Amino acid sequence: MNDSQFEQLKILVEQTRKVSGNEALSVFRKLSTGCKDLICIIYDKASRFWIKSGTIKKAVCRVDARLKHPASSLTLCQLLVRLRDRVLVGKNATDWVKVFMRGRTESEQELILAAIDKDLRIGFGSAKINKVLGTGSVTDFKLIQGYTFHKHRKKLLKGSWFMSEKLDGVRTVIRVDEDGVPTLYSRQGKRFPHEHIEELGPIVKQFTGAHPGVYDGETLVKDEQGKSYFKITNSIMCSRASASRKKNRLSMAPGQRLMFFSWSYIPSDVFDATRGPITFSKRYKMLKEYLPTGAHVSIVEQHPVLTEEHAQKFASSIMAAGGEGAILQKDVPYRGARSPNTLKIKPEHDAEFIVKNCTLGWMQPPGTHGKQQEVLAHFDIEYKGNTVHVGGGLDWEERVRYTDGSLVGQVVTVQYMEETERVEKGVTLYSLRHPRLKIIHGKKRTV
């Protein structure tokens, strides 16, 4: 079948990878018109394809090569839509992709797998693509994220700040369209399939018909005493429609309910642009006006910060009561990014481990518009017999230095929030929540 968009995409990727910076954007602008639909579905952060290239590479196709298969007559765009909409799932999805790639060159196969991984390695992502194709061409999720308080505490001496409890749940963004229809997204911009997560029903019902815009917050299970349950929340929110995942997920006990707590309202146009002039205090005022509060939806109360000691005491009181800590927000205009205008005061644990394995990935050097490089994406440690991926805490120099795998066997200290556990097929699996590298000690600890 003639697939003109795929042919144009091959030319675009080949030419764009040869250059960098503004020159790469210029090439993209010139060549993207012939494959715009394909680019939009690949880079739309609100959708996923439910399968990874690594799984496809390892899988053995069950379809006889001598038989004609409908995957052979699809375009790449049609294949991706079927994967996105879960028309193709599991081994069936793998078989269709394998058949689709049959007879293609090695570079064509690499491009198909890169498209499925939603990263064509052209040196820029959805933000720049929206600048070329027009704002909103692809959904670009850039949320406010913060830094730990001790690294940026001097920031607290300047400007006006607010503080609130740091909730122990799953980051959730609820976007209500002009027709009053709500859609729930994760912090990465992946849609929560509420039609398969029945516990989300009351939240969706409360937001149906709400004021259009974006409500940023946290979803968590709470009991009648106000205690939160992260493990149950994570199990519910991360469950899928498969019978095995539903069988093993944790359930709420009597007196517990899944709730959405919001701390900010963002107009849709400001959210799509990832920045705007509305300050935090004004967004909070809008939130109090628009949030459809009720049994399953509540507001996160904000309090003015008077001094650093005031903020520390506030966080300590929350942690003493079993809470996670505090979030400090500077009263500045909206910008969807990690910034020292948002600070976190929370407890952390650390422990030493030996690096078991290193995995490489394609990344763009920070603060540049240059071409992506293959560097250390994450390393693996072993915790209670389970493999844990650690990708946070590595600076760019370390990612480049350890591309050769020399980090394997070295002693490292990893910082994390808490131990997590889940049950799969009757087996309890352990992991670490938000693990990040603290320090590399070398082949053995010397201090």
Q: Does a structural domain hold residue 140? A: no
pLDDT given for residue 240 in this prediction: 52
Q: What is the pTM of this model?
A: 0.72
Query: Which of the given ranges, 145-149, 156-160, 178-182, 366-370, has the highest pLDDT on average?
Result: 178-182
Residues 195 and 309 in one domain: yes
pLDDT, mean of residues 209-223: 96
Burial zone of 115 (CB within 10 Å; 0-12 exposed, 13-18 middle, 19+ buried): buried
The last residue of one of the domains, among 312, 345, 378, is 345
Residues 267 and 370 in one domain: no
Q: Does a structural domain hold residue 139? A: no
Paired sense of beta strands 436-442 and 373-383, if any: unpaired
Residues 127 and 153 in one domain: no
Calculate what percentage of the chain has a pLDDT beyond 70: 96
Percent helix, strand and coil across the chain, each to the nearest 5: 35, 30, 35
Task: Name residues whose C-beta falls within 8 Å of residue 61's C-beta, 6 or more positions apart in sequence.
Answer: 94, 95, 98, 99
Residues 331 and 210 in one domain: yes
Distances (CA, A) of 86 to 102, 247, 347, 447: 22, 20, 40, 52
Q: Does a structural domain hold residue 36? A: yes
User: What pLDDT digit, counting tens, does each position of 401-443 carry?
Assistant: 999 999 999 999 998 878 888 888 888 899 998 898 988 888 7
Residues 43 and 161 in one domain: no
The one-letter code for the residue type at 405 is G
Q: Does a structural domain hold residue 13? A: yes
Distances (CA, A) of 339 to 155, 318, 350, 352: 11, 23, 24, 29
The last residue of one of the domains, among 292, 312, 345, is 345
Q: Does a structural domain hold residue 9? A: yes
Residues 172 and 318 in one domain: yes
What range defines the domain where residue 353 resides? Answer: 349-442
pLDDT, mean of residues 278-287: 98
Instruction: Tell me how many domains the chain contains.
Output: 3
User: What pLDDT digit, counting tens, does each position of 326-381 carry?
Assistant: 999 999 999 999 899 999 998 778 889 999 999 999 988 887 766 788 999 999 99
Residues 374 and 426 in one domain: yes
The one-letter code for the residue type at 50 is W
Residues 125 and 190 in one domain: no
The one-letter code for the residue type at 260 is F
What tokens does 34 get? 């012939």
The one-letter code for the residue type at 200 is L
The one-letter code for the residue type at 303 is H
Q: Which of 258, 282, 252 is nearest to 270 (CA)?
A: 282
What tokens does 303 get? 């309090």
Paired sense of beta strands 436-442 and 411-416, if any: antiparallel
pLDDT tier, 147 (very low <50, low <70, confident <90, very high otherwise): confident
What tokens does 296 get? 């399953």
Task: Name residues whose C-beta falls within 8 Å of residue 295's C-beta, 6 or more positions apart in sequence.
Answer: 202, 206, 257
Evaluate if residue 245 carries a pLDDT over 70.
no
d(CA 184, CA 194): 8
Say which CATH number the domain at 196 has. 3.30.470.30
Q: Does a structural domain hold residue 138? A: no
Helix (H) or strand (E) segment spanning residue 153: none
d(CA 40, CA 138): 5
pLDDT given for residue 320 in this prediction: 86
Residues 156 and 83 in one domain: no
Residues 340 and 358 in one domain: no
Residues 408 and 379 in one domain: yes
d(CA 369, CA 366): 8
The last residue of one of the domains, among 108, 133, 158, is 133
Residues 232 and 263 in one domain: yes
Q: Does a structural domain hold residue 111? A: yes
Q: Does a structural domain hold residue 37? A: yes
Distances (CA, A) of 414 to 391, 417, 432, 437: 10, 10, 10, 5
The overall average pLDDT reported for the chain is: 90
pLDDT tier, 255 (very low <50, low <70, confident <90, very high otherwise): very high
